[in-house]
Amino acid sequence: MDYLVKTEEDWLRHAPLLKFSPQRIKIHRWGEYECVTEHNVGLTTHPAPAATLLEKYRQARAKNKFMFFVANGPFENARNLINPEDIYLHLLEKPDWMANVFNTFADLVIQSHDQLEKMGMEVDGIHIADDIAYKNGMLFSPQTYRDLLMPCHKRLFAHFRAKNLPIMFHTDGKLDQALPLLMEAGITAIQPLEARAGNDVRTLKPSYGKNLVFVGNIDVEKISGTKKDIEDEIRGKIVAAKENGGYLYHSDHSVPPTVSFKNYTHALETVRKYGSY
């Protein structure tokens, strides 16, 4: 109903809680839960063991899955704790406080990854979600990004790249200004490239394709349309984006209910048709 932190005093009270704690996640087996199964008559319950995080990790490894460590970035975490409208004012009026908030969350992400790694859960890549843009561009000026958020991003990305882990970065919005800055900060892949915000992998690939992997940009509005709409969207973008590698098929954001299962199946068939070498 409201945001937890409204003042710097609130932040100082809550910031010490932002440390990694294994008690917050199921690392080890702690008991059983009730698994509900449906039979011919009514419902019955059967005890079943609770799957731990480590067990899930081992199951995925056994299936040769690519393993991501996924976390919200410093700005995204801050917006979950402090009213975003207030944050935009604080970036101008209280930059030292905002820098402290961003750095605290960057530390938490690093701590969390490294502690899980010590517990035996090594990953293949990092996925950081940190929305810094909307349909018309960045949510704040490039200079504000350089001064307050980029140092945290650089520190985060450098930490993971030192471990030879690629970094997939998620941000919504139009990326004309943001993309060069994010590349300077150290990302290795960008996702999901919202088509509705004016991003087009066909124009981005020639400029950035040697140094950046593109993930997405397939317009979900086109996937909601006709077979021709689907064919034109996927063929046009995949053929250009797959040249010399460096592209992963993905929608340009969450797939909405307007996309039927039939349309989505046809989209995947089209991807297989044009996405092979």
The model's confidence at residue 202, banded by pLDDT at 50, 70 and 90, is very high
Average pLDDT over the chain reads 90
What is the C-alpha R_g of the chain?
21
The model's confidence at residue 44, banded by pLDDT at 50, 70 and 90, is very low
Q: Model confidence over 126-155: pLDDT tens digits?
A: 999 999 999 999 999 999 999 999 999 999
Pick the closest to residue 250 from 258, 241, 107, 161 (CA basis).
241
- Residue 6 reports pLDDT greater than 90: yes
Q: Which domains does the chain have, with CATH numbers?
A: 67-275 (3.20.20.210)
- Residue 48 reports pLDDT greater than 70: no
Contact 116, 157 (CB under 8 A): no
Mean pLDDT for the stretch of residues 160-186: 97
- Residue 211 reports pLDDT greater than 80: yes
pLDDT of 47 reads 43
pLDDT of 51 reads 64
Contact 74, 105 (CB under 8 A): yes
pLDDT of 53 reads 81
- Residue 108 reports pLDDT greater than 90: yes
The model's confidence at residue 42, banded by pLDDT at 50, 70 and 90, is very low
Mean pLDDT for the stretch of residues 75-94: 96
- Residue 27 reports pLDDT greater than 70: no
Contact 125, 70 (CB under 8 A): no
Pick the closest to residue 49 from 63, 35, 60 (CA basis).
35
pLDDT of 28 reads 57
Q: Model confidence over 73-84: pLDDT tens digits?
A: 999 999 999 999
